[in-house]
Amino acid sequence: MSGATLAERPAAAQGTADAALRARILALRDGLEHGLIGCTGLVERLLIGLLTGGHILVEGAPGLAKTRAVKRLSDGLDGSFARVQCTPDLMPADLTGTTVWRQDSGTFEFLAGPLFHSLILVDEVNRAPPKVQSALLEAMAEGQITVAGHTHPLPDPFMVVATQNPIEHAGTFPLPEAQLDRFLLHVVVDMPDEASERRILDLVEGELNHHAEAMPVKLTLEEVRAAREAALGVYVSPALKDYLVRLVAGTRTDAAAPDLRAAIEHPASPRGTLALMVAGKARAYLHGRDHVIPEDVADLAVDALSHRIGLTWRAAAEGQTARGIVEGLVRRVRAL
């Protein structure tokens, strides 16, 4: 690489470099999609997390390729990867690391835990006890960890993908709403349709017979940081910002329609509005645009907002869901 910074390079060379970088991001997307049948939405959201520095919560029944998706993403990145399986007896130090006394040197040494990696899969996060969950979410929010009075910075990029299984309740600790807010997106994965399931059989059978296809690219962390910078530079017009605000205001009890007012206990905060804007920029980048369009916002609104909204007990008892409420808002609020 030349010594010139991104800003110093001549515009034409910069344009070529940007196009080459985006092509590599798209190659990463193609590689992910190739090995994850029918998971276009999940793949796009994982890449949005990567391009925004956001963390992703993936919810789905067992066996829906959640672990496979994150492992495949790690195959496409030239960074370190760790996986943590949460259990009720997990301790915060199992994630953060501990300080140990070294008899031979007469000093304390910090042994870094699995959080000190670029990509971390936290499987079954709702099986971890609350102290572990709060250590994890604090690291996600602050990008650093304090152990025994010493603060240790986490790598950059640092991306957590946490999974949870919706059907198990026994022995789980549901993430508190305030902690859910730390996730950029909450993605729900559904069962594949029959055609996809048929393709999954062929794909996995081929892999069992040693025909696994390697990822077509391995992005360096420098490339990820540069792509993040490019994605954050995507333009959001004033009219589109107004749309974002009107959408989120629709969850606030003072502005909401009467039926929603009765259903929403606590609305989405400005962190939710910002999350939707930033995620929309990354989606626009992935779709080859230099500006966000209403479709970016409408497509991501449910995953960016619904985990930040609390329902009244009455609405929950009636079977309403936060996802359903945001879907209704997207239909109701006019884009421009």
Binding site for ligand ATP (CB under 6 A): 36-39, 60, 62-68, 165, 192, 200, 203-204
Cβ(278)–Cβ(298) below 8 Å: no
Stretch near Mg ion under the rule CB under 5 A, chosen from 49-57, 61-69, 202-210, 230-238: 61-69
Q: Which is nearer to ligand ATP, 35 or 272 (CB)?
A: 35
Contact of residue 203 among ligand ATP, Mg ion, none (CB under 5-8 Å per partner type): ligand ATP
Peptide bond into 62 cis (omega under 30): no
Beta carbon of residue 127, minimum distance to Mg ion (angstroms, whole number) = 12
Contact of residue 200 among Mg ion, ligand ATP, none (CB under 5-8 Å per partner type): ligand ATP
Beta carbon of residue 315, minimum distance to ligand ATP (angstroms, whole number) = 29
Q: Which is nearer to ligand ATP, 66 or 308 (CB)?
A: 66
Judge residue 254's burial from the number of C-beta atoms within 10 Å of its C-beta, 0-12 exposed, 13-18 middle, 19 or more buried.
exposed
Beta carbon of residue 183, minimum distance to ligand ATP (angstroms, whole number) = 18
Q: Tell whether residue 67 is a contact of Mg ion (CB under 5 A).
A: yes
H or E stretch covering 139? helix 130-142
Stretch near Mg ion under the rule CB under 5 A, chosen from 65-73, 195-203, 218-226, 286-294: 65-73
Q: Tell whether residue 321 is a contact of Mg ion (CB under 5 A).
A: no
Q: Which is nearer to ligand ATP, 66 or 127 (CB)?
A: 66
Q: Which is nearer to Mg ion, 136 or 154 (CB)?
A: 136
Q: Which of residues 144-173 bind Mg ion (CB under 5 A)?
A: none
Beta carbon of residue 123, minimum distance to ligand ATP (angstroms, whole number) = 6
Cβ(293)–Cβ(228) below 8 Å: no
Q: Which is nearer to ligand ATP, 202 or 295 (CB)?
A: 202
Beta carbon of residue 236, minimum distance to Mg ion (angstroms, whole number) = 35
Distance, CA of 84 to CA of 94 (rounded, Å): 9
Q: Which is nearer to ligand ATP, 193 or 254 (CB)?
A: 193
**What 3-state class would DSSP assign to 15?**
helix
Cβ(174)–Cβ(45) below 8 Å: no
Q: Which residue has the tokens 């495949």?
A: 72
Long-range contacts from 236-239, C-beta under 8 angstroms, 24+ separation: 236/277, 236/280, 236/281, 236/291, 236/292, 237/291, 237/292, 239/336
By CB under 5 A, the count of residues binding Mg ion is 1
Beta carbon of residue 69, minimum distance to ligand ATP (angstroms, whole number) = 7
Beta carbon of residue 144, minimum distance to ligand ATP (angstroms, whole number) = 29
- Ranked by CB distance to Mg ion, the top (closest) residue is 67
Distance, CA of 282 to CA of 2 (rounded, Å): 27
Beta carbon of residue 214, minimum distance to ligand ATP (angstroms, whole number) = 15
The tokens describing 261, both together, are 């007012």
What is the DSSP track for 189-257?
-----HHHHHHHHHHHHHHHTT-PPPPS--B-HHHHHHHHHHHHT-B--HHHHHHHHHHHHTTSTTTS-
Q: Which is nearer to Mg ion, 55 or 228 (CB)?
A: 55
Q: Which is nearer to ligand ATP, 148 or 170 (CB)?
A: 170
Distance, CA of 16 to CA of 261 (rounded, Å): 50
Q: In this structure, are strands 150-153 and 144-147 parallel, antiparallel, or unpaired?
A: antiparallel
Cβ(3)–Cβ(215) below 8 Å: no
Q: In this structure, are strands 310-311 and 264-266 parallel, antiparallel, or unpaired?
A: antiparallel
Contact of residue 130 among Mg ion, ligand ATP, none (CB under 5-8 Å per partner type): none
Stretch near Mg ion under the rule CB under 5 A, chosen from 1-9, 64-72, 100-108, 150-158: 64-72
Residues interacting with Mg ion, by CB under 5 A?
A: 67
